[in-house]
Structure 1
Amino acid sequence: MVMTTVFTILVVISALLRVEAQQDGCRCKRTMKGREHLHPTRNSLPVLSLDETQELEQLPKHLDWCERGFCVPSWNQHIPQYCGSCFAHGAMSSAQDRIKIANKRQNYTGADVMLGRQSFLNCAPGHGLSSGCDGGEASDVYEFMLRYGLPDESCLPYNATDHTKFHATNGTCPPHGYCMNCMYTPESRTAPVCFPVTKMVRYRAKSYGHLSGELAMMKELMKGGPITCGIACSYEFNYEYKAGILEDKTGFLDLDHDVEVVGWGEEDGVKYWHVRNSWGTYWGMNGFFKIVRGTNNLGIETDCAYMEPDISKEELVWEEKEVYGGSIFGIVPFKETAKEHPILDTSADITRPENDVLGHELPLLESDATRRRKEDGISTVLATMFFASGCGFAALVAVVALKVRGHRYVYRAIA
């Protein structure tokens, strides 16, 4: 009898977890904070006026920032494990391409800047910006860059994890979670040690904003460079697209992914957007795809974001006029003129020491609330079923098991 009850519990739990996994799917959990009214399932895009239609017709038929040589290498958000960070990849891809454009305009021809994805996923959720691998939106990235700035990826390699691994600091970001190094040091000559790097070049956003519609997208692409847009991942997009111009015929508009739009063009009379995905270069056309333009296909013209990069800190270490140099411990003044351009901020404004217990809980984010509702629902179903059958102990075991499985640390917010 006991074995039968235990077996029944395991079967039911397994079935319910499979249902939960199917509901979640393998999609990026993007959000639309304060812009729900723009969602394509609620409202269609506004019709262009006559003047706007004429302006659209006068724009170039083709523009592509990759063809101009301003697209840095592509990424894969799901290596070495699944992480719902499409919003971060789309936003940073656009930002670092815009940094390359800004550097070119300043006649700086240094190496491409690849922004610190892991630094963001480790630290931003502690400031209420995104849920890390549980999703977010482009404005979370740009707001973080506006407030604090991001280092490049040489600070930390991407490992598809987020703030939830920092148990000692209740989910907030310790100093080594933003930037670190591992080296032999004068104090440790016999064995290498790892230590936080607190001063580095940070790339910031001067400003950022949202836009929608074909005309606004094209004008912003011309003005500043690639932009980030939400898109609805249909079955065809996920599993059947190989190359060419994608055109969804189902009307699917459930925005659940973010991508980088790098340009537009026409082929055989068909207008298209040229777009970069974040699923590796083996997907699509070397990591890119084309989708019909002007019809809001898969909702790609509904919710887009852009940013204006601030490269002023990078200018201080340019070879042509360097003011700062570098060391294994971070950047340091190189010339007397550094006094005129002080870099005062350290990672202390972003991180907290591991022994610093903070007093405010993170706000309950949408993804957390959804997950908790599912867990509570599963627990209720199991408890009701087993209590109804007269097996109170089995019901208690089932509820406790699910609660333990679904337990997440109570993370604290950095004030």
Structure 2
Amino acid sequence: MNRFWLLIFGLPFVAAATIDLKDEPLDWPGTYHFEAVRMSISAGNVQDYSVWKTNHSSRVDYNKGAVKSIIVDENAKYRYGVSYEIHPETDDGEDAIFKCNVMLGSEDNIFDLKIILPETDNFEYVGPDSQTVENTIKFVAEDSDLETKTIKTIWATYDEKNNNWHPVRYEVKNYNELLGLLEKHEIWDYFNFNTGFDKSAFDVSQYDCDDENVEEHTLQSETVTKFLMFMDPENDKHVDHVFNSFKNKFVRNYADNNEHETRRNIFRKNMRLITETNRQKLGYTLGVTQFADRTPEEMQRHKGLRTRPEGKVGNIPFPYPEHKIRDIAEDLPSEYDLRILGYVSKVKNQEDCGSCWTFGTTAAAEGALARINGGRLLSLSNQAILDCAWPYGGSGCEGGSDNAAYDWMMKFGLPTEEEYGSYTNADGICNIKNMSTIYPIRGWTDVTPLNVEALKVAAVNHGPLSVSIDATDKFSLYTGGIFYDTTCTTKRLNHEMALVGYGERDGDTYWIIKNSWGPDWGVEGYLLISSRNNNCGIATEPTYVVY
């Protein structure tokens, strides 16, 4: 926290000692340049900004200038204004170059300049408060209804020479009155605020944004409706446009206006997460997925993994001594993909049934069976596990553990999907005794945990593997790249999937993971996740099936 307080100590200001500041309305100059740091205490992330604004142009740089947003309002050349999004990309020679994206305004889409500074309506003068910078004045605005209470605080200094206010700090707290919780807490620190700067900051030609090098987008482009390029989560028109596109794509029909507003608020929150994450250029992207309007409680129905009983382990030991694993791994290929070998069935969708524990384990069983079946891949019925594994610790759509599925497979075996029936997204009556052909397993093996080489050895010789993960909000919005989430844990595992291969990029090993959220999620239903630091617990409890 101290770092962010120190950022503003050097802020220039002119103290007002000769006028009564109570009579000076809080308002910002029309032209300014400043730098800022926004710290979301509730979400645990930090973002830096550099901002330039005049009455006709605005520019915001994110992530130390890596991503730039420049807007020019209506003029002789662009009747409804124009917006540029400029970000670095790597060319074939692996050199970073700026990619210039442009969207022209229209009668229905007139671009508003990005202000960044908080609106000052309804703020009341409190008085001097120099806890941040000497001679700072404090203003407060409060708003509340039956469910929420919002307290906004602005600290500012007054420039008597130019008769305007300069922001120092802005804090917003949103309370859930029903639950008594602080749901949102953000602090913005502003520094180096001034009203004079070189207007060449708005010259897009320095980033090769001429007519030949730009990529033009429209409001209907996927870059806009899915990846939110040019969209501002704080702009109601932008939120409504993307939300309407989302509702049409995923056929959302809400019960009433109250539910619609609740879903829209969740959607806006996820828009913020998407834009903030993508601007950081972390090597992966988030986007608007089918889960962008779901509550945390609803998302649990799209997972379903339960913790194994304490002391429960596989009945067949991992056959590779730990001291020999590294030597064995040295002879393995740098990339390996079981999909190419035909050991992986198509991506399926568990929908809103907490049955992930049946999908990950069934994928492991399908691959193991193909290995001893001349490479013949059969689609086995995870619905049978869902219906029948109750005596072994499964609870149908309410969730289960990998060992519950495995123990049931050892006793009864898996039938094919063709004979037992397709997945129904619901608990059903167990029909295993009427199956003509079943494939019982001999057991299952726990792979040496927290060991990248051990997972590679297991994947090549025994995969696919069933793996567990802490699936976070970011995970649900994943759309591509090598995922590495600093907000997840390695122990709070809530989702089961299948590891079907691995690869390398820039010396970093990543795992290829088959999910059970349908082919429209992620990369055609798959996740690429970094092996570094056991991210999200992917190497905490890997297993495979033995026939």
Aligned CA distance change for structure 1 residues 207 and 298 (closer, same or farther; 3 Å):
same
1:201 is aligned, of 419, 423, 437, to 437
1:124 is aligned, of 389, 412, 437, to 389
Matched pairs, number: 245
Q: Does 1:143 align with 2:381?
A: no
Q: Which residue of 1 aligns with 2:502?
A: 264
Aligned CA distance change for structure 1 residues 225 and 138 (closer, same or farther; 3 Å):
same
Q: Is the 8 A contact 2:415 2:435 kept in 1?
A: no
Q: Which residue of 1 aligns with 2:309?
A: 34
Counting strand residues as a fraction of each chain, which structure ranks higher?
2
Aligned CA distance change for structure 1 residues 302 and 35 (closer, same or farther; 3 Å):
farther
Q: Is the 8 A contact 1:263 1:273 kept in 2?
A: yes
Q: Is the 8 A contact 1:77 1:84 kept in 2?
A: yes
Q: Is the 8 A contact 1:70 1:97 kept in 2?
A: yes
- CA distance, structure 1, for counterparts of residue 396 and residue 369 of structure 2: 23
Deviations 1:331-386 (Å, cap 9, x if unpaired)?
xxxxxxxxxxxxxxxxxxxxxxxxxxxxxxxxxxxxxxxxxxxxxxxxxxxxxxxx
Q: Is the 8 A contact 1:139 1:305 kept in 2?
A: no
TM-score by structure 1 length?
A: 0.54
Which deviates the most, 151-160 or 82-91? 151-160
- CA distance, structure 2, for counterparts of residue 275 and residue 72 of structure 1: 13
Which gives a bigger RCO, structure 1 or 2 (Cα 8 Å, sep 6+)? Answer: 1
Q: Which residue of 2 aligns with 1:232?
A: 470
Q: Which residue of 2 aligns with 1:103?
A: 373
Q: Which residue of 2 aligns with 1:274?
A: 512
Q: Which residue of 2 aligns with 1:194?
A: none
- CA distance, structure 1, for counterparts of residue 403 and residue 532 of structure 2: 24
User: How far did residue 129 of structure 1 move?
Assistant: 3.1
1:290 is aligned, of 513, 517, 528, to 528
Spell out the pairing of 1:1-400 with structure 2 (5 A cutoff).
Answer: 24-27=297-300, 28-35=303-310, 52-53=325-326, 55-78=328-351, 82-104=352-374, 109=376, 112-125=377-390, 127-154=391-418, 155-163=420-428, 173=429, 177-178=430-431, 198-211=434-447, 212-213=449-450, 214-239=452-477, 241-253=478-490, 254-309=492-547
Kindly report the root-mean-square deviation, in angstroms, between the aligned alpha carbons of the 2 structures. 2.9
Q: Is the 8 A contact 1:101 1:225 kept in 2?
A: no
Aligned CA distance change for structure 1 residues 270 and 130 (closer, same or farther; 3 Å):
same
Structure 2: tracts of 5 or more residues without a match: 1-145, 147-177, 180-261, 263-293, 314-320
Counting helix residues as a fraction of each chain, which structure ranks higher?
1
Structure 1: tracts of 5 or more residues without a match: 1-7, 9-14, 39-47, 164-172, 180-196, 310-415
Aligned CA distance change for structure 1 residues 95 and 37 (closer, same or farther; 3 Å):
closer
Q: Which residue of 1 aligns with 2:24?
A: none
- CA distance, structure 2, for counterparts of residue 157 and residue 52 of structure 1: 39
- CA distance, structure 2, for counterparts of residue 291 and residue 308 of structure 1: 26
- CA distance, structure 2, for counterparts of residue 51 and residue 97 of structure 1: 25
TM-score by structure 2 length?
A: 0.41
- CA distance, structure 2, for counterparts of residue 279 and residue 83 of structure 1: 11
User: How far did residue 56 of structure 1 move?
Assistant: 4.2
User: How far did residue 218 of structure 1 move?
Assistant: 1.6
Structure ID, larger Rg: 2
User: How far did residue 102 of structure 1 move?
Assistant: 1.9
